[in-house]
Structure 1
Amino acid sequence: MADEITEKVIGAAIEVHKTLGPGLLESVYEEALCHEFGLRTIGFQRQLSVDVHYKDHVIGGQRLDLLVENEVVVEIKSLRSLPEMAMAQVLSYLKATGLKRGLIVNFGEKQLINGIKRISL
């Protein structure tokens, strides 16, 4: 179930944030989160390319940070405050993949709980 998956992702992200704290690059958090997923046997795909189809034409250029258990899109950020564009980005990914749930995890927050946004279609 997707809610269980998002809870597992959030738990892993909290562990990464608790260990590393804020202030590092997104790529560092992505690598650490993937390692944590491995430790917790959470299935994921990393930097997954997603195409949009328009009238028999393929439009590429979208890349998901993480797809967890083939159900939840996870976008990783490391910013002091989350721009509105991040929400639009995840909504675009959900629409392109046909998936219904996404998470934005902003490791730039002092307390990670303030940096987690759930998105549902």
Structure 2
Amino acid sequence: MPYLYQEETYTIIGAAQEVHKQLGCGFLEPVYQEALRIELEERNIPYKQEEGLTIRYKQRELEKKYFADFICHGKIILELKATDQLTSAHEAQLLNYLNATGYRLGLLINFGQRSLAVKRLVR
């Protein structure tokens, strides 16, 4: 049985893999963010970058917004990292973003290791 947004997830991960293949590890997150933007454009993957998302608290909108690294296909949050390893704190951060915004799927992508690391989190 296919999982949530399988085809879209596959294309996004492919774009991230190309960025990692070209740049390797060792750069700061903004470098990977810019390169991934280019790769998403080249692959015609619809995205919004640094999109301000509304956070709700007890059915009320907060003034503070969460700014996603990327929202792809209008339904998948991408949270980028460039660190030695992903931690449970990184996962909790993305799960909080999913819960607060109502999005169902998030990809936690870490460019900071020798191999690209991707965690797929579903709410």
Deviates more, 1:57-66 or 1:99-108: 57-66
- Structure-2 residue corresponding to 1:26: 29
Using the size of structure 2 for normalisation, the TM-score is 0.90
Instruction: Give yes or no for the alignment of 1:107 onto 2:82.
Output: no
- Structure-2 residue corresponding to 1:16: 19
Off by >4 Å, runs of 4+ in structure 1: none
How far is 1:96 from its partner? Answer: 2.0
In the alignment, the residues of structure 2 paired with residue 57 and residue 116 of structure 1 have an alpha-carbon distance, to the nearest angstrom, of: 30
RMSD of Structure 2 on Structure 1 (CA): 1.4
Deviations 1:28-85 (A, max 9, x none): 0010001000000000010111222234352414211110011110000000111221
Cα 1:11/1:57, change in 2 over 3 Å: closer
In the alignment, the residues of structure 1 paired with residue 36 and residue 46 of structure 2 have an alpha-carbon distance, to the nearest angstrom, of: 12
Alignment check: 8 A CA contact 1:75 1:103 kept:
yes
How far is 1:97 from its partner? Answer: 2.0
Partner SS for 2:97: helix
Q: Which runs of 5+ in 2 are unaligned?
A: none
How far is 1:8 from its partner? Answer: 0.5
Using the size of structure 1 for normalisation, the TM-score is 0.91
Q: Which runs of 5+ in 1 are unaligned?
A: none
In the alignment, the residues of structure 1 paired with residue 122 and residue 94 of structure 2 have an alpha-carbon distance, to the nearest angstrom, of: 10
User: Could you say which structure has the higher helix fraction?
Assistant: 1
Aligned residues: 119
Q: Equivalent pairs: percent with the same residue?
A: 38
